């Protein structure tokens, strides 16, 4: 029987996708029954979404000649 | 993807078919294209810079470099890539290779090899959320009950400063660039297990920091 700590650790380390099938099924069963662990997983997913949203703003920072300047330097 | 990647960026790999790994699409990168890159063909250079440049810049900024530092760093990454392209002849992912160069260049900039402490106080923060039987003492609240993604994005910019350089880099590569644990392991030269530990610590610190800002406060 997996505990909340087991499940949240597996979710947080990102090791779920590499876990054996039996373990993944046990996690799925636990999540179906435990609203606290579902909330934890939503927190983890929300942190990732927020980080990607913050990163999207960074990607547009360089000016339009950013790529041209790199290519110019590579040709030297 | 991981099976095709280089063990590290200095490892010469067998000649063969090479792939230009984009976020969504994977563009075949054959020997003829590599030869054009070696000859510094402007069109070939332009396509690889267009495909990977802003992604590398975003990662460098996410790792804590300023705008000008990030621009310089990305230029250096491409210069090193082209200079070392003779070694890039195996079934490697260009993206993984470039991020590996970015990792080494960033360590040069910091003038140190970034290491992670064996123990981090944040491990205790996580442990303290559970009782002896592994059940929640302080259950988390679903974050969407409190704040929208845009506000959380603003908050997270402050919170990432609380991460160690390696935690920040791993979080950036795993969560923003969405690279696999195996690829990040090769890029930063840590075991896959330790990549999991670093991601866990980063997530715990960020959740804790965001909770302090009123996001997802425990019930």
In chain A, residues with a C-beta closer than 8 Å to the C-beta of B139 are: 36, 39
Is B149 domain-assigned?
A: yes
Whether residues B106 and B129 fall in one domain: no
Whether residues B125 and B195 fall in one domain: yes
> What confidence score (pLDDT) does residue B140 get?
87
Domain of B171 in residue numbering reads as 121-212
Say yes or no to pLDDT of A45 above 60: yes
HSE-CB at A71 with a 13 A cutoff on CA atoms is 18
User: For chain B, which ranges sit under pLDDT 70?
Assistant: 1-29, 89-92, 112-118, 144-149, 216-219
Check CB contact under 8 Å for A42 and B176. no
How many domains does chain B divide into? Answer: 2
> What confidence score (pLDDT) does residue B91 get?
56
Q: How far is A75 from chain B (nearest CA, A)?
A: 6
Check CB contact under 8 Å for B176 and A51. yes
* Residue that is last in its domain, among B110, B135, B151: B110
Whether residues B79 and B164 fall in one domain: no
Is B77 domain-assigned?
A: yes
Is B219 domain-assigned?
A: no
Whether residues B93 and B7 fall in one domain: yes
pLDDT 10s digits, B29-52: 677 888 888 889 999 999 999 999
pLDDT 10s digits, B137-164: 988 877 755 566 677 778 888 899 999 9
Is B218 domain-assigned?
A: no
CATH number of B67's domain: 1.10.1740.10
- Helices H, strands E: what count in chain A? 4, 0
Whether residues B87 and B128 fall in one domain: no
HSE-CB at A33 with a 13 A cutoff on CA atoms is 11
Q: How far is B113 from chain A (nearest CA, A)?
A: 23
Token couple for B183: 């690829």
Average pLDDT over residues A30-36: 96
For this complex, say whether ipTM is above 0.95: no
């Amino acid at each position: 029987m997996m505990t909340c700590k087991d499940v949240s650790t597996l979710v947080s380390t990102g090791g779920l996708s590499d876990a054996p099938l039996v373990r993944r099924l046990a996690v799925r069963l636990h999540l179906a029954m435990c609203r606290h662990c579902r909330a934890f997983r939503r927190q983890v997913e929300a942190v990732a979404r927020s980080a990607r949203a913050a990163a999207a703003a960074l990607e547009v920072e360089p000016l339009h000649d950013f790529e041209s300047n790199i290519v110019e330097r590579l040709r030297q | 993807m991981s099976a095709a990647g280089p063990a590290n960026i200095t490892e010469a790999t067998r000649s063969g078919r090479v792939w230009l790994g984009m976020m969504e699409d994977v563009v075949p990168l054959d020997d003829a294209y590599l030869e054009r890159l070696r000859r510094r063909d402007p069109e070939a250079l332009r396509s690889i810079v267009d495909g990977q440049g802003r992604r590398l810049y975003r990662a460098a900024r996410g790792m804590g470099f300023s705008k000008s530092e990030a621009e310089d760093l990305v230029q250096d990454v491409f210069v090193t890539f082209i200079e070392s392209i003779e070694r890039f002849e195996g079934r490697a992912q260009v993206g993984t290779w470039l991020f590996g160069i970015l990792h080494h260049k960033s360590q040069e900039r910091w003038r140190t090899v970034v290491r992670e402490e064996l123990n981090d106080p944040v491990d205790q923060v996580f442990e303290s959320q559970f009782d002896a039987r592994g059940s929640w003492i302080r259950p988390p609240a679903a974050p969407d009950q409190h704040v929208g993604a845009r506000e959380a994005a603003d908050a997270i910019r402050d919170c990432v400063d609380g991460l160690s350089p390696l935690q920040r880099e791993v979080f950036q590569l795993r969560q923003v660039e969405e690279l696999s644990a195996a690829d990040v392991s090769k890029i930063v030269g840590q075991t896959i297990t330790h990549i999991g530990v670093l991601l866990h610590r980063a997530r715990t610190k960020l959740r804790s920091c965001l909770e302090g800002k009123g996001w997802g406060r425990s019930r």
